[in-house]
Amino acid sequence: MPTAWLRYPGGATLEMMRLLGIAFRNLTRAKRRNALSGGTMVLGSAALVLGSGLSDGIARQLTDNLVAVQTGHLLVLVRSDDFIPQNSPFDAYGQELIPGAEEMAHRIEAEGKAVGVARAVPYLHGRATAMAGSRSSPAGVIGIEPSREPELRAAFPSIAGRFLADGDDLSAYVAEPVARKLRLGVGDAVSFVVQTPKGGLNSMDAVVCGVFKKNAPWYDATFYVTLRAAQALFDGAGSGTNIKIELRDGSTSGAHRARDAVARMVGAPAGVPPRSRVRVETFDEAGRFSFSIIQANEAALTILSAFLFLAAGVGIVNAMLMSVHERTREIGTLRALGMRRGLVVRLFLLEGFALGVCAAVAGATLGGVLVLRLGSQGIPMNTMTLAWMAGGDALFPVLRATSVARAAGAIALLSTLAAAYPAFAASRLEPREALQHV
Amino acid sequence: MFSLLILLLAAAPPDAEAILRQADKAVLGETSVYTLRMTVVRPGKGDRVVEMRGWKKGDTQGLVRYTSPPKERGTAYLRNGESTWLYLPSGEKVVRVGAKQNFGGGDFSNADIFRLSLVLDYTPTLAGEEEMEGQPCYKLELKAKDRSVAYDRVVYWVRSDGTFYPVRAEYYTIAGKKLKWLTASDVDLLGGRRRPTLLTMENALDAGARTTLRFLAIEDGVKLDETLFAPSALERGE
Amino acid sequence: MRLFVTLALRNLLRHKRRTFLTVAALTLGIGLMVLGRAWTAAMEHAVVDPAKDGTLGYVQVFAKDAAADEGGRISFIMPQNNYRLIAEPRRVIADILRVEPRLEAGLARLSIAALLSNGESSLEGILLGIDPDARPAVYPAIELREGRHFRAGENGILVNRGVARQLGLRVGDWVVALGNAADGRITAAKLHVTGVWVVHGLEAYEWGACFVDLAAVQELVDAGDRAGVLIFRQRDRSQAAAPIAASLNAYFARQRIDAQAYTWEEMGGPFIGGMLLTRFIANIMNAVMTIIVAAGVLNTALMSVFERTREVGTLRAFGAHRKRVLQLFLLEALFLGLFGAVGGSALGASLVSFFSRYGIPAFSEAQRYSYGGDRLFPRINWSDVSEVPALMMVVCILAALGPAVMAARKRPADALRYV
């Protein structure tokens, strides 16, 4: 090993690279010990990736159901002044028709670009009695613009037939449980009878174009029809009960920031029933139900990860110290040859970093493979409890690059930090004592 | 010449609203007291028979009290102005109910029972004459005066032989779907004059489901006191 | 023997820093696991316990295929208007209690959706018809904001705060419930508001639900002497409910009884979703933590064995048996585990008692629902404080077993030559 560069004061990149190479090689010298501490870090990072995968999976499922399908980032709807939220998934549906909702949605989308609006999509939700043959069931009818609801289509994939298409004003896309209850298959006829907000009775006949696998338990009796058809059914041309707005900045803070601007655009339209108002709610307000589950999951994961790190950290420090102890003579030799303290510290830090990186990569890969495998099969949530918790019949863990990077980065950081104390301990060894160590 | 004009005038078809008014009064008069038997037929289940006594004053006030079967005796419905009230003996309290809710579990709604007159809610037009149930009838197209009326459109056949008995009414939603239809039949002498005594409402959406109202006794022109139609009076017995 | 104990302790003290760190890792790991257990236990206590004692019960018995006319999936939360019912519920409850000694009490319940009316306005509510005589034994968590519990025969109703406010009801008022009998006629029951109920921890889940005398609900739907579900309470509430439900189902199959038993976990729905998830994650983390700590101990033990190879050789050369060498190393591991366990329980216990005084604050709306309030107060549970450390001590010894065996097997001659 050339000794000339040992005298360099600073750390040029090339030198760092050489040091790093040495660090990696040193790792292979104490295979068992490094395998052990590395192994625990692999396990730790795999667990973190899996945990994040589960948490992200739940969040994605609920978000898909909530943000993409129901509330968007901002939701325009009519609320009565004495509305009390029930902590239920149905809180997000407006109780009355927003007069001129379609036109309002176009306006918000056109004028709202400046405040961050990406899309504004209206829909109409109402309660109906669905009838087929001699069977009937209370049901929710939701009128949508099919081409503008790709997330809904992805969230409720069809298990028979096909999704709605624009202009399919005589078709209905039916949830599997109510299809089973009314014995409906693709091509069968179903009738809806409703009381319109004004008070008249109206009805609609539809032909089932597709049946979808509902995931969340609260969509059991849902029929999707085109917005046009729903407007005719509930006797409200051009109206809707909700306008969901997608923002470019989809975070909670972004939504809260944009809300006031959108509320000004919406104003106070005429035609709203007395003691009710048009409101603009953020998704964490309108969708408190789902959002609260997501938050709870994330909090649980964060806290438990912290626990994990703490315990792992101490173990790694221990292992590193043992490494230093074992290599006392070697360190003495290096120092006797002129290696400065700073370099010794850097070397051990890099060893910690190297181990951490290897373990993190291995662990993240292991965890990632597990998540992908489970994510394609899905973990069945076969009791009602699990279904409510996960927002669906199956949980599909999701591999998110940021979560993986965060887990891997955290482990690598932990390993490097844990090596700090041992590194300093190593650097403080006096060459003479060290060389005498047996 | 003059007599020809009169003949012509007499032969001209009457105006739609006049037909409707006459038809509205054909079964029950302006004020009446009546007894009727309601039978609710549901496929797969037994028939349910309820007998009741009713008081009608004009088009906005009506009271009905069940007299049989014993389990339901004392149940009462009251219509006064825009409100409909229900009294159930087991509930011991008068509660407000909706006009469009069904009456007694059958195919008539509360609004159907208490407003057997259509002229207040609908604008009639004469759509010609045709035979219905074997009788020559005027065919009236009734359009709801506003969107809060339950049935957006009613097609109404009324006998054109001068009796103006209603023969059939078909009730449609805004979308044009037939929800149910009413047939008036069994013209008989009751309470001093001839009138249809059987009203059958059939459910278009549930095959085999229907409800019949058979008038057992009618007394027209009775003087009825306002206090009879006060919600507070419901709780007291007959 | 005492010699070896002294040897073991002295050996540990020879490498103070290493021993300290290993013990520190153990302490931290154990302490955090104890806190974690107390935390999840507290969440269970905050929401799940009230749910079990106020509505879910522990084991639920429905008619077989109760929801067959509703699309198939039985939901405890949803009204049972169209469910198939269980006849003679009190007799069935008595039979079940006789056959299954692990259950101590049962209650018949029928929940329907009905209209509640104060005369002027009406409100769609869920009437939970319960047998008032069985209520104290099976639903002890139902408490009162106002008023008193109803007795059998007085057609009583306990409304919730929201319903009372919306209908303007006060204790002593009468309210009419409107329902539908199977033949379609409208039925009514006049109910006496004896009180306003509350189950502490479940305030967010009241949802228009009112407790009503079962007889009144049966009359409303003209159901006769039938119930929708039978709720049972376990004698030993820390036991798992699944084996009891399984044995009940076997009994039903044998006797050809048309019923099916479920556990509270299966039927709990929104009440216990959060808790189940946290439990699941906590179990994974516990397992991982155990492995991490075990690996640390293993590392230390290996290091120790290699360092002292010559020493071991000397010992053996002086006549010590293999077994003694093994014992020596295991003793060291035992002491490490013991110090870690003591330290860990102390740390865990003090963390838990700190939070039990000041509470773990809820940082989000979601946590408020899981916590049943703004703060969560964990309790010191002696089984937690002793189980986890005991378990970890065993883990320690097991982790050190490998290296100890390795040390014991070394031949003295080889060992002495080791440099």
| Model pLDDT for residues C49-99, shown as the tens digit of each residue | 888 999 999 999 999 988 887 767 788 877 787 889 999 999 999 999 999
- Give the mean pLDDT of B112-121: 78
Q: Do residues A305 and A419 both lie within one domain?
A: yes
Taking the model in full, what pTM does it have? 0.74
Element holding C230 (H helix, E strand): strand C229-234
Q: How many CA atoms, within 13 angstroms, populate the side-chain half-sphere of residue A215? A: 26
Among chain A, residues having any CB pair with chain B shorter than 8 Å are 131, 134, 136, 191, 193, 195-196, 198-205, 232-233, 235
pLDDT at residue A262 tops 80: yes
- Angstroms from C326 CA to nearest CA on chain A: 21
Q: Any chain C CB within 8 A of the CB of B230?
A: no
- Give the mean pLDDT of B23-39: 89
pLDDT at C169: 92
Q: Do residues A303 and A214 both lie within one domain?
A: no
In a domain, A77, yes or no: no
**Residue A295, amino acid:** Q
d(CA B194, CA A74): 66
**In A198-282, at which residue ranges do the beta strands (DSSP E only) sit?**
201-212, 222-226, 242-247, 276-282
- Give the mean pLDDT of A324-338: 79
- Angstroms from C180 CA to nearest CA on chain B: 8
Q: Any chain C CB within 8 A of the CB of B93?
A: yes
The pLDDT tens digits for A194-236 are 888 887 888 888 999 999 987 666 677 899 999 999 999 998 8
pLDDT at C259: 94
- Cα A26 to Cα A34, A305, A347, B168, distances in angstroms: 10, 30, 10, 99
Dihedral, CA of residue C71, residue C107, residue A88 and residue C375, to nearest 10? -150
- Angstroms from A37 CA to nearest CA on chain C: 7
d(CA C220, CA A127): 24
pLDDT at A394: 73
The larger pLDDT score, comparing residue C323 to residue C56, is at C56
d(CA C26, CA C400): 14
The residue from A218, A240, A271 where one domain ends is: A271
Q: Do residues A305 and A383 both lie within one domain?
A: yes
Supply the mean pLDDT for chain B. Answer: 86
d(CA C149, CA C133): 11
Question: CA torsion sign, A255 to A261 to A266 to A268?
Answer: positive
Could you give phi then psi for residue A158, rounded to 5 degrees? Answer: -80, 140
User: Which of A267-276, B148-157, C90-99, C131-140 is least confident?
Assistant: A267-276
Q: Do residues A116 and A259 both lie within one domain?
A: yes
pLDDT at residue B186 tops 80: yes
pLDDT at A36: 76
d(CA A406, CA A326): 33
Q: Do residues A47 and A112 both lie within one domain?
A: no
- Domain count along chain A: 2
In a domain, A83, yes or no: no
In a 10 Å sphere around its CB, with 0-12 CB exposed, 13-18 middle and 19+ buried, how is residue C203 labelled?
middle
- Give the mean pLDDT of C131-152: 94
Closest CA to B22 of B218, B151, B195: B195
pLDDT at residue C13 tops 80: yes
- Give the mean pLDDT of C371-386: 74
d(CA A283, CA C92): 48
Task: Using CB atoms, pick whichever of B50, B72, B90 lies closest to residue C189.
Answer: B90
pLDDT at A12: 61
pLDDT at residue A380 tops 80: no
d(CA B107, CA B203): 7
The larger pLDDT score, comparing residue A433 to residue A253, is at A253
d(CA A109, CA A118): 7
pLDDT at residue A435 tops 80: no
Q: Do residues A323 and A213 both lie within one domain?
A: no
pLDDT at residue A4 tops 60: no
Residues whose CB is less than 8 angstroms from the CB of residue B212 and which lie 6 or more positions away in sequence, other chains included: B38, B39, B41, B198, B199, B200, B201
Nearest CA in chain A to C76: A384
Closest CA to A115 of A252, A254, A226: A254
pLDDT at residue B27 tops 90: no
pLDDT at C85: 92
pLDDT at residue B181 tops 70: yes
**In chain B, at which residue ranges do the beta strands (DSSP E only) sit?**
31-41, 48-57, 61-68, 76-80, 83-88, 93-97, 122-132, 135-144, 153-159, 166-172, 178-190, 193-203, 210-220
In a domain, A279, yes or no: no
Parse chain B into domains and list their residue ranges. Answer: 16-57+108-228
- Give the mean pLDDT of A32-50: 79
Task: Using CB atoms, pick whichever of C178, C184, C187 lies closest to residue B95.
Answer: C178
User: Which of A55-59, B32-36, B49-53, C366-370 is least confident?
Assistant: C366-370
The larger pLDDT score, comparing residue A310 to residue C389, is at C389
- Give the mean pLDDT of C20-39: 83
Q: Which residues on neighbouring strands pair with residue B37, listed in sequence order? A: B51, B214
Query: Residue written as tokens 């439990």?
Result: C279
At B1, the pLDDT band (50, 70, 90 cuts) reads low
User: Which of A163-172, A319-328, B54-63, C128-137 is least confident?
Assistant: A319-328
The larger pLDDT score, comparing residue B8 to residue B113, is at B113
Closest CA to A359 of A418, A424, A400, A303: A418
Closest CA to A172 of A134, A198, A208, A201: A208
pLDDT at C229: 95
- For residue B42, the chain C residues in CB contact (below 8 A) are 183-184
- For residue A200, the chain B residues in CB contact (below 8 A) are 144, 147-152, 173-174
Task: Decide if C273 and A388 are in contact by the 8 Å CB cutoff.
Answer: yes
pLDDT at C71: 67
Residue A313: which domain range? Answer: 11-64+291-436
Give SS3 for A94: coil
pLDDT at A9: 54
- Which chains have 3+ CB pairs within 8 A of B? A, C
pLDDT at residue A382 tops 70: no
Task: Decide if A131 and B148 are in contact by the 8 Å CB cutoff.
Answer: no
At B236, the pLDDT band (50, 70, 90 cuts) reads low
Task: Decide if C366 and A299 are in contact by the 8 Å CB cutoff.
Answer: yes
- Give the mean pLDDT of A118-141: 89
- Angstroms from A180 CA to nearest CA on chain C: 6
pLDDT at residue C366 tops 70: no
The pLDDT tens digits for A60-112 are 776 666 777 888 889 999 988 877 776 667 778 888 899 899 999 999 999 88
The pLDDT tens digits for A390-412 are 666 677 787 888 888 888 888 88
Q: Do residues A395 and A302 both lie within one domain?
A: yes
Task: Using CB atoms, pick whichever of A199, A203, A232 lies closest to residue B148.
Answer: A199
Q: Do residues A250 and A354 both lie within one domain?
A: no
- For residue C76, the chain A residues in CB contact (below 8 A) are 384
d(CA C57, CA C243): 15
Q: Do residues A104 and A147 both lie within one domain?
A: yes
Q: How many CB pairs under 8 A join A and C?
A: 172
The pLDDT tens digits for C201-210 are 787 778 789 9
- Cα A217 to Cα A103, A136, C113, distances in angstroms: 33, 20, 19
C122-130 and C209-213 beta bridge pairing: parallel
Share of chain C above pLDDT 70, in %: 94
Nearest CA in chain C to B44: C183
The pLDDT tens digits for A288-304 are 766 666 666 677 677 76
pLDDT at C245: 95
Task: Decide if C186 and B95 are in contact by the 8 Å CB cutoff.
Answer: no
Task: Decide if B149 and A200 are in contact by the 8 Å CB cutoff.
Answer: yes
The larger pLDDT score, comparing residue A36 to residue B38, is at B38
The larger pLDDT score, comparing residue A257 to residue A26, is at A257
The pLDDT tens digits for C156-174 are 999 998 889 888 899 999 9
- Angstroms from C186 CA to nearest CA on chain A: 18
At A1, the pLDDT band (50, 70, 90 cuts) reads very low
- Angstroms from B78 CA to nearest CA on chain C: 13
**In C11-135, at which residue ranges do the beta strands (DSSP E only) sit?**
59-63, 86-87, 103-117, 122-130
- Cα C275 to Cα A42, A294, A397, C379, distances in angstroms: 28, 13, 19, 16
Task: Decide if B105 and C178 are in contact by the 8 Å CB cutoff.
Answer: no
Task: Decide if B173 and A201 are in contact by the 8 Å CB cutoff.
Answer: yes
Residue C180 corresponds to which tokens in the numbers above? 């539908």
Which of A264-268, A426-430, B231-235, C188-192 has the highest average model confidence (pLDDT)?
Answer: C188-192
Query: Domain B16-57+108-228: what homologous superfamily?
Result: Lipoprotein localisation LolA/LolB/LppX (2.50.20.10)
In a domain, A118, yes or no: yes
Q: Do residues A238 and A339 both lie within one domain?
A: no
Residue C40 corresponds to which tokens in the numbers above? 């999840």
Closest CA to C115 of A81, B111, B96, A90: B96
Tell me if A281 sits within 8 A of A72, measured CB to CB: no
pLDDT at residue A246 tops 80: yes
Task: Using CB atoms, pick whichever of C121, C177, C183 lies closest to residue B48.
Answer: C183
pLDDT at B238: 47
Which of A211-215, A351-355, B117-121, C216-220 has the highest average model confidence (pLDDT)?
Answer: C216-220
